Structure 1
């Protein structure tokens, strides 16, 4: 009982005792309940088995089973099944000692949420050379305690013909621990310490080291160096702080990220760290097409959660999940943002080659590693729900709308020193009539707007929720932002109304007016859009507020009017704008 393992029966207790004694797990089966012989195979997807804790487990093709001719006897390395369980009436016992793949046992334990003493040892590796000795010890103890008789029959089954359990030989320079730690050890220290842990050491320099069978973790030079340093005493290694090169500071990417984060925080957003894994079925809830590139996600071989096996290709699923969690806990007015990397696999993505860690990789090896990895662009995303302006003496409050998402884009643009252009678009999960694509020049870098009502309904989000997501890697970096110019001279304000075709983007008109007005134009703002019979079918009227100011003099009305007329002329040439009479 002091070991934390409860007593069950002589057969089971003896297997547990030997496991604690020499570190090799074993399992006892009632041989009268075995039909035919034992075999080892992978489970079938969806196959079910009832384990010794009386819980039905659903397996998949990565789980390893011990089976007889009709039923499953055990989940290999994890727990036995009830079909061959040792009972009070058991008179014939079959003892099983196995060696399982540590990674497979670990995956099965975590996926099934089934931890066992045997599984804990198997996932850390056991000594394959003592399996037979463990069986002999267990059988002799059981015969001594229970008064039984040991049948002189041993069945030895293995996946290959291997009989030599020694580890591969590793060559290591005798002074490698000295060079690694920066400490000069006495001659012969490396060979002496490695022999102390049971390794076979031959040669002088380099040393040929064969790790013992009970140390499968010793696979490369770095592992051997670690053992030498551990035995010599880590406290003997001097602590020397590296000298940082002066004058570097933050990179341009880091500066931009901080500037964007501060600007969004000042605009009322709260930064969160959404999960980097995709929830199962999220893109189905969005209604994305099968060929949508966001579905092409990198799968994690050993996920932390079984229902999140893929790395995120977009930040919105995690952000919207955080939004929903806040709303469900009573926080109705929410504005969140995140700046993180996403993962986009490419055609060049391939398995990463292992590089020894006892030396610096070569330039070619580093280039190969970079080519092996998927693209990991940095994205910024924000979500909003509830009231954007709170209720008070001034009124009932204003709910979130698509224009708030567009304003978040402008906040990001000002922080990054880039002017974004917004153009009407259709992209899920956004509302087709309230979505804009965000452009830098002619390059689309993201989308913003109100979420699609169907997406909101399927995901349980608040009505009217809005979102924005931009690819920052596609946005050019401005090393130095221009300082704002402040003029002491008064401004001249003028309004213009122009008529354009209905499909012309308002942003295109604003850009044309800005280019045509020249340096005297300090600000332009669209404040009214009109469609109706006075304009004509397929046309719309845009009313813009213009603010003119000169940096070195008081601007006259005539100068402002000339700049306004030039702006209208450029808008007419570029987008077909006509001054409304």
Structure 2
């Protein structure tokens, strides 16, 4: 909302020394977002006067049309002689009154005017356009032609109100009343502690039965409709300069007198209006819902197909306007055009003024449905004062009578749906408790009265909310008004005092440890949006009945291409890998930790929690039960070289073993024992996929997969060849871990190393053999490492040889050979019993 300071002063007697910056500071303190203060005419210096064109000589010897003019500027040039001016514009004629800037003047932007020779003539000044004067573009881009009543030599700076300050206010949705000079003036008067001259306080005649007939078929969509008629308008009447300049400063373009007046009153009072050509209305004006598929052409010339939820203004033919949005072309005000046969000036002479109050939600939906935002819909969406309709209609009638010589008909139509003022009950000390400041009852009542409320009661206040504040609905809204008017800057700053002993939870500490461990292993963390599409799951090759395909779809997604919450971290990670690879980074190791969202089999509707009290434990539990499951996951993706080559030797590419090791890194940080065995699932290569499992309370749980991605997935996603990935469930890994991860034990006694080579079936996983050896060796075993895998004729078909290095050490003594050998034999015996392993060469 653009608010000229000169216009604002009509309603509030601001101090003479108050500048736009001063008013801006006051309004910002009161809670309004005043973004800028524009200084119109900054740097403008005269003489700038009205001139009358005496002669025009066309100079035709140049590439473009040039005119040499003489202009009467009165005594402004000091001689009274005509001023000679060269001009290229062509939208003025001999006898027209124009704006002339004389040598020595400076136009906005630092454009100095001097006498100079051009096109073979001496130009002593310039005839100005609206753009050159800083008035804004009027659509023609030509010279400003003034009404004939102004005398040559009149000061044009004062006439055109070229020097002013304009406040540009970003009006938030809850302060729709500030989309008017009336609303901003009220806030300004309150901020300065000055009285307000309310422009809506007019003498309005009572409704009678002689007005234009109106029928309301949808009182919920339109609860108030005022119609007034003005006849005998002069079709040649034009908007006076003061009216045009106020519209221009407010950011609107002057069009015609009737339209300009309705726009002016809308800016002044905040009530959108519409003027219909009475001669083009047939029968009764009505308000109803549109019929599905009904067609209608709006003022912008677009033919629109209406929806059954659209609220429309009609006559006996059908729709003549989209209620609260835009009028129709079939009742548009006609311009004054001379008849080619008779020479008589035609145009609209009788108008019907509509001032109505429409349902905010209905107007908003209609405007969005038809992609047709307007100044009227912008105000109705945010809430318009329903009691201002009659005053706005009267103000429009008065201006049309004054400026266009019309006659106001005695008939007044006003249809009002029954309704009561809204009241809110609030304890007198409620603002004190919200702000933590002792305002006192007197201050609370005074501030509420300043915003237009009627207040009654002592300790318990009954507040009647003013009609222009539909946003005030509960005690906290009233508390906010008191606090903002008392000044947010006056609220004391107090730091919260958390109870001692509160720190990071175990879950948070594990999360950080895992992130540090993966970063230390060479991975780079990425953060992705938690959204995906079903197509991403298709690219991963997941089966149709896979649980990850049960998506939680958002009602209002950020992007229609990704309407659901993620059930796996891999699509986001693989997308990040693909983008980085495409930008030249080919050796990549990325990781992410975060939540995934798994739909529950039983869908529940989340209840809306109350805002007037703390929710009960049952209500919170019911809300939690309606949410999807949100386990934490960790995932990594790798491509390119894992180890770079150099003078130290050859490097190596990343492969499935690195992905498995990343899973082991995560498990180590959680203090959990990770079971790794061959598997086959979704996006992974069936021959290079490992299942990851943990044991919780004696039960084995599958927690993830790791390995090389399937070639089909790599091709579908455009990934580098042999890309590997891992994803693991952190919550289950944490549950399988030790409550406290013990630190490493350091023994000063020597280690005893024993090697063992076992022959097992090809189908037996090496991890299973390692786990059994660890269990059989007992507490003396410090570490175990697989250092060789051999297959061949020497050990037989369908067999493989696994060679392990076992390190034994005791914390309190040096082990004997017999102790180490006994432990080794026990490990081999248990491996033979559990996996069928036999010593190689036995």
The alignment's TM-score, normalised by the length of structure 2, stands at: 0.58
Residue of structure 2 equivalent to 1:242: 496
My pick for the range that moved more, 365-374 or 88-97, is 88-97
Aligned position for 2:606: 351
Does residue 471 of the first structure (1) align with residue 729 of the second (2)? yes
Superposition map of 1:16-415 within 5 A: 17-24=264-271, 40=289, 99=358, 105=364, 121=379, 124-127=382-385, 163-164=418-419, 166-167=421-422, 169-279=423-533, 281-346=535-600, 347=602, 349-357=604-612, 359-415=613-669
Q: Secondary structure at the match of 1:230?
A: helix
Residues 78, 173 of structure 1: alpha-carbon distance in 2 compared, 3 angstrom cutoff: same
- What's the CA shift for 1:484? 0.3
How far apart, CA to CA, are the structure 2 residues paired with 1:434 and 1:304? 37
Distance, in Å, in 1 between the alignment partners of 2:291 and 2:721 is 48
Q: CA deviation at 1:257?
A: 0.9
CA contact (8 A) 1:106 1:119 kept: no
- Name the CA distance, whole Å, in 1 between partners of 2:320 and 2:792: 78
Q: Does 1:507 align with 2:763?
A: no
Cα separation, partners in 2 of 1:451 and 1:375, compared to 1, 3 Å: same
Q: Distance in 1 between matches of 2:797 and 2:309?
A: 67
CA separation of 1:432/1:84 partners in 2, compared to 1, >3 Å: closer, same or farther? farther
661, 672, 692: which one aligns with 1:438: 692
Would you say how many aligned residue pairs link Structure 1 and Structure 2? 570
Residue 267 of structure 1 and its aligned partner are, at CA, apart by 0.8
Aligned partners of 1:200, 1:508: CA distance in 2, in Å? Answer: 81
Q: Which residue of 2 aligns with 1:578?
A: 838
2:428–2:461 CA contact under 8 A, matched in 1: yes
* Equivalent pair of 1:62/1:104 in contact (CA under 8 Å): no
Does 2:708 correspond to 1:450? Answer: yes
Q: SS of the counterpart of 1:180?
A: helix
Q: For the residues of structure 1 that align with 2:304 and 2:546, how far apart are their CA atoms?
A: 35
1:254-311 per-position Cα deviation (integer Å, ceiling 9, x unaligned):
1111111111111111122211222462122223334332232333323333333322
Please state whether the residue corresponding to 1:317 is helix, strand or coil: helix
Q: Report if the CA contact (8 A) 1:500-1:577 is conserved.
A: yes
> Per-residue displacement from partner, 1:455-488 (whole Å, max 9, x unpaired)?
2212222222222222222221644210101122
Contact residue 63 and residue 108 of structure 1 kept, 8 A: no
* Correspondent of 1:483 among 743, 767, 791: 743
Shift in Å, 1:337: 1.6
Please give the alpha-carbon distance, in whole angstroms, between the structure 2 residues aligned to 1:345 and 1:135.
56
Where structure 2 has 5 or more consecutive residues not aligned to the other structure, the ranges are 1-247, 338-346
Q: Which stretch shows the higher mean deviation, 455-464 or 470-479?
A: 470-479
Deviations 1:538-567 (A, max 9, x none): 544333232222222333343222222211
Q: How much does 1:203 deviate?
A: 3.5
| Alpha-carbon contact 1:43-1:65 (below 8 Å) kept | no
The C-alpha deviation readout for 1:24-69, integer Å capped at 9, x for no partner, is 56789999899x999757999xxx999999999999x999697999
| Bigger proportion of residues as strand | 2
Cα distance 1:71–1:443, how it changes in 2: closer, same or farther (>3 A)?
A: farther
- Alpha-carbon offset, residue 120 of structure 1: 5.3
CA drift of 1:400 comes to: 1.7
Whether the 8 Å CA contact 1:27–1:97 is kept in 2: the answer is no
Residues 278 and 317, structure 1, Cα contact 8 Å, conserved in 2: yes
Matched position secondary structure for 2:508: helix
1:118 Cα deviation from its structure 2 partner:
5.8
* Per-residue deviation, residues 311-350 of structure 1 (Å, max 9, x unmatched): 2222222222222222222222222222222223322642
Deviation at 1:354, TM superposition (A): 2.3
Tell me how far apart the structure 2 counterparts of residues 11 and 219 of structure 1 sit (CA, whole Å).
37
Is 2:715 the partner of 1:460? no
Q: Distance in 2 between matches of 1:479 and 1:232?
A: 53
1:430-449 deviation line (CA, Å, top 9, x unaligned) = 22222222211111122222
- Which region of structure 1 is more displaced relative to structure 2, 265-274 or 119-128? 119-128
Give the C-alpha shift of residue 517 in structure 1: 0.9
Distance 1:541 1:182, change over 3 A: same
Contact 2:271 2:355 survives alignment (8 Å): no
Deviation, 1:104, is: 9.4
Specify which of 419, 423, 426 is matched with residue 680 of structure 2: 426
Residue 433 of structure 1 aligns to a residue whose secondary structure is strand
Distance of aligned partners of 1:401 and 1:272 in 2 relative to their CA distance in 1, 3 Å threshold: same
Match for residue 174 of structure 2? Answer: none
1:525 shift after superposition:
2.2
Alpha-carbon distance between aligned partners in 2 of 1:243 and 1:547, rounded to the nearest angstrom: 53
Residues 367 and 377, structure 2, Cα contact 8 Å, conserved in 1: no
Checking the alignment, whether the CA contact within 8 Å between 1:49 and 1:72 is kept in structure 2 is yes
Assess, with a 3 A threshold, how the Cα gap between structure 1 residues 503 and 9 changes in structure 2: closer, same or farther.
farther
Structure 2 CA distance for partners of 1:98 and 1:493, relative to 1, 3 Å? farther
Structure 1 199/329 Cα, relative in aligned 2: closer, same or farther at 3 Å?
farther
C-alpha separation in 2, matches of 1:333 and 1:133: 73
Q: Distance in 1 between matches of 2:813 and 2:386?
A: 90
Structure 2 distance, partners of 1:280, 1:67, is 44
Tell me, in whole angstroms, the C-alpha distance in 1 between the residues paired with 2:281 and 2:300.
18
Report the 3-state secondary structure (helix = DSSP H, G, I; strand = E; otherwise coil) of the residue aligned with 2:441.
coil
Judge which range, 195-204 or 132-141, deviates more. 132-141
Query: Does the 8 Å CA contact 1:280/1:307 hold for their aligned counterparts?
Result: no
Call closer, same or farther: CA 1:280–1:556 in 2, change over 3 Å: same
